[in-house]
Amino acid sequence: MTIRRFNPADDLIIVKARLYGPRGHRPLALAFDTAATETHIVPEVVDDLGYNPRQGEAITSVSSAIGKEPGYMLRVTRFASLGFTFAGFAVHVHDLPENIGIHGLLGLSFLRHFNYEVRSLEGRMRIDRIAG
């Protein structure tokens, strides 16, 4: 079991993550988003780490209230968040609004590997790895 704290006064629950690539690794600030099917990272981050769209496995698009955003799915060397690490993890690379101050969204593609409890008033999360 892992306990993570967040600021309950913020508009988003922000979690730390780390993305690894051909040029090293980089810390990320991601929104904990149970409404996002996939984990999303902004293109600038994956580009800086040495990935490019030609390495993508599929062209994708995200529909939101502001329209459809094109992007691609990329399998990264390693991805870590909430105290857990996955090798060969698939992320979706899409632009996000620039003024929200995050590098992406931690979505269900990552979260479905865990049981988690969010205690909003207390500003903490409990995360348990699902066996298997």
CATH number, domain at 71? 2.40.70.10
Confidence of residue 64 (pLDDT cuts 50, 70, 90): low
Q: Alpha carbon of 127 to those of 11, 51, 61, 89, 107: distances in Å? A: 21, 30, 29, 19, 14
**pLDDT band at 132; cut points 50, 70, 90:** low
User: Is the sign of the CA dihedral 128, 124, 86, 61 positive or negative?
Assistant: positive
pLDDT of res. 65: 62
pLDDT at 22 over 90: yes
From the list 36, 29, 40, the residue with the least C-alpha distance to 89 is: 40
Amino acid, res. 13: I
Confidence (pLDDT) at 20:
98
Residue bearing tokens 């090293």: 24
What count of residues does the chain have? 132
% of the chain surpassing 90 pLDDT: 79
Residue 12: its pLDDT value, please?
Answer: 95
**Owning domain of residue 19:** 2-129
Task: Provide the domain count of the chain.
Answer: 1
Residue 76 above 80 pLDDT? yes
Greatest Cα pair distance, the chain, in angstroms, is 44
CA distance 32 to 8: 13
What average pLDDT does the segment 17-37 reach? 96
For residue 98, is pLDDT > 90?
no
